[in-house]
A and B are shown apart, each in its own frame.
Chain A
Amino acid sequence: MILELTEWIAATSMSQTIQNISWIIPTVQIVHILCVAIVMSSIGMIDMRLLGVSGKRQTIAQMAARYLPWIWWALLILACTGLILLIGEPGRDLPNPAFQAKMFMLISVIIITLIFQRTVKNNMHFWDETPARKVSAKLTAVVSLTLWVSIVIAGRWIAYTGG
């Protein structure tokens, strides 16, 4: 199924255009990486606060309000630029284990981030209220950081595990 989808995308005129104009893929990749920079730094600030490592002058809710919107907007651009790259080189991505792992981890971490956003929106002090929640805040941060770092590494690794 993946193979058929790959061939179908590769045959579209949009894919042909992206492949034939040499500057499109490098330029889109640059925009993609710059958005990764926004996401990673923003999530880093939030997670370091959740861990209690830095940013303690701000509440978790303040950190979330400052950095979460940047993460969502950057993710939107990442989805668009990622889609362009995928359409241009479907054979490089879709059958690629690094790409598949990246997408799986991405969906997982988006769900975690959405849950985090909801809890902090409904109750500003949610993560500070009980010792158990403080621990779960730290756990959330560790899982989030691990997933994001792995996503970046898997993303770069796509270039090496493709056919």
Chain B
Amino acid sequence: MEFAEIIAAIENSGVGMQVRESTWMFPTFESLHVLAIVLVVGSIAIIDLRLLGFASTNRSITELHAEVLPWTWVSFVIAVVTGVLLFTSAAIKYSAMLVFQIKMLLIILAGANMLYFQFVTYRSVAQWDNAASTPLPAKIAGGMSITLWIGVVAFGRWIGFI
């Protein structure tokens, strides 16, 4: 199946039709989506600001990680589920929109940045766990993460204006 056919199948699916035709579903999923995304971005920012040395510098990084990241993941799952539901209502329109495509790209980049940090940079965390100033790779990861997530919010909101 071609990409365009898959997108059309999503839009013509039962779920897509229901979200499109219901009066309350779209606003409800959208509200939950906003709620979830602000928690994703805000909680990630808490860690990013620690990596950058701007806040929580008196806390150990592993401790802060353990405290904050579970909330990030729960929120992220809700954001994805509600996001998919919103997408099905007009899959053809959204997938063709540049701002939507950029948003997806930024999410992928944020994910790649996080994976690199987690599996490469974070391996030596024991050496800088309590340091107010983290090594450069950790600072770069924090800076990229916060920038990319701000971009996700910005392009996400812009979708509603086109």
Residues on A close to B: CB < 8 A? 25-26, 29-30, 33-34, 36-42, 44-45, 48, 54-55, 57-58, 66, 70, 149, 152-153, 155-157, 159-160
Contact = CB atoms under 8 A, between A and B. Distances in A.
Interface residues of B, number: 28
Interface stretch (B10-18, B112-120, B123-131, B153-161): B153-161
A33 B63 contact: no
Contact of B157 (A30, A42, A149): A30
B109 interface: no
B65 to A, nearest CB: 12
A153 B34 CA distance: 8
B145 interface: no
B21 interface: no
Interface in B19-47: 27, 30-31, 34-35, 37-39, 41-43, 45-46
B8 interface: no
B56 interface: yes
Interface string B92-136: 000000000000000000000000000000000000000000000
B125 to A, nearest CB: 17
B111 to A, nearest CB: 18
A59 B45 CA distance: 21
B70 interface: yes
A41 B45 contact: yes
A55 B67 CA distance: 6
B39 A40 contact: yes
Contact of A153 (B31, B42, B63, B67): B31
B6 interface: no
Contact of B38 (A25, A40, A45, A70): A40
B39 A37 contact: yes
